Structure 1
């Protein structure tokens, strides 16, 4: 079992504190946490602080029992990569990062599984520099998934994908989190996808945590009006999923 908790976490660029006092309940193995908030709210900064790329006060408390796994893996918004490598080479390199460069059948099978699930096997031997933005994003997702970390931080991983691919990718990430016992934090703007796939929602605005809890506890009409400045309501569209309706139009 893996658990992650943030305690009074802050992050700074130089002397300027850009996020402050973020404290969460414990997140546990298999959970998807959607990190939502307006543009420039501090979501990317929070991820960099959790990943250890920024300094600041507070504590990232990670307790886990896994062995031989990378504790935290971070996928930034910028999906630029070494254009000299092929897609397959870049994913294999990510798989072996921080470990010995011996490749076994289990490595190859898992890489093939991830590439097939993300539908990128047809471009396996294309150079990264020749890919579209959406294809590069899928490769970055694969690079993060094949590391099999305890915690995955994914900063807007589906922003360049069409709706069909978004649902496919988020469904696969959810299944991997459950199967591998990972904790997955996803910064996402689509609140309907947050309602559909997240176990918990963490709301960031103005550099501070505004709420953290179940999707329907956090994503409600009052929050949408206060944080996003829109009049909206939440409606149940099936037994499983709710969605946001803005001014009579599904968001």
Structure 2
């Protein structure tokens, strides 16, 4: 489902968080929101899901999000927060089944149960189905939250740091699943992510935010440069190509503090190290 964001602004009281955001997301496209802490990535995700009410317009498939009911939005958008804590004791299966709620009228159908089972299998969570969600590790909880969003069968996926709390193997696993679903189901995905190299590898485009504005928007190879690393992130870095994608190797912060052994460990000879 195509997403169009036009002249979007949001403030907490007198503090402006987002300022005149304009962006489009097409079907079968992954857009990663990158930028330093406090640049507005999470706020933009919440505005798209109408958790926060912003000024400007957001169109989902050509329809204004303001014209949609909360249930209509839930049927179209699967939202994965950074973390979730539930005061109730629920199994992993029941937690994922909650993702079917926008589609359930009175009773849970066999189709709903089959969808949950399919998503659990896809994310390799079948062995945890009867475990208490509250007793899972942080990484396991994160995968369950992604499963719950996928159970909605959404046209749009919004993910706020989907790889947080995951080790490197499960980061790759989750990102590969997201990319597979985006391509296979022709859905749109917008995710806030700190890891620039994961963003580079798995995204079609990046939206680089700085102080609540889109500093740059485009493919990773156009945005991930030493100049942008310095200006946006305050980091001296070299950018190399790995498997056809730009890979950022940080060297030192611009306040002069070295990031120890990062470039040396990568085997990089760079004039920036001189």
User: Normalising by the residue count of structure 2, what TM-score does the alignment of the two structures yield?
Assistant: 0.83
The partner residue of 1:202 within 188, 199, 207 is 207
Q: How does 1:198-237 map to 2 (within 5 A)?
A: 198-237=203-242
1:242 match: 246
Moved over 6 A (4+): none
Question: Does the C-alpha gap of structure 1 residues 29 and 175 become closer, same or farther in structure 2, counting only changes over 3 Å?
Answer: same
Alpha-carbon displacement from aligned partner over 1:163-218 (angstroms, at most 9, x marks no partner):
10000110001111111121111111111101100001011111111111111112
Shift of 1:72: 2.1
Aligned to 2:114: 109
Matched, 1:84 2:89: yes
The gaps in structure 1 that reach 5 residues or longer are none
What's 1:35 paired with? 33
Structure-2 separation of matches of 1:236 and 1:242: 5
Distance 1:142 1:85 in 2: 15
Counterpart of 1:125 (choices 110, 130, 142) is 130
Partner of 1:57: 55
The aligned residue for residue 20 of structure 1 is: 19
Matches within 5 A, 1:139-150: 139-150=144-155
Could you tell me how far 1:118 is from its partner in structure 2? 1.7
Identify the structure with the greater helix proportion: 2
Query: Structure 1-normalised TM-score?
Result: 0.90
Comparing 11-20 with 170-179, greater Cα deviation is found at 11-20
The structure with higher relative contact order (CA 8 Å, sep 6+) is: 1
Structure 2: distance between partners of 1:106 and 1:122: 21
Matched, 1:151 2:149: no
Structure 2: state its 5+ residue gaps. 64-71, 252-262, 267-274
Aligned to 1:183: 188
How far off is 1:55 after superposition? 2.2
* Count of residue correspondences: 245
How is 1:62-73 mapped onto 2 (pairs within 5 angstroms)?
Answer: 62-63=60-61, 70-73=75-78
| Cα RMSD, aligned residues only | 1.9
1:82 deviation in Å?
4.7
Residue 9 (structure 2) pairs with residue 10 (structure 1): yes
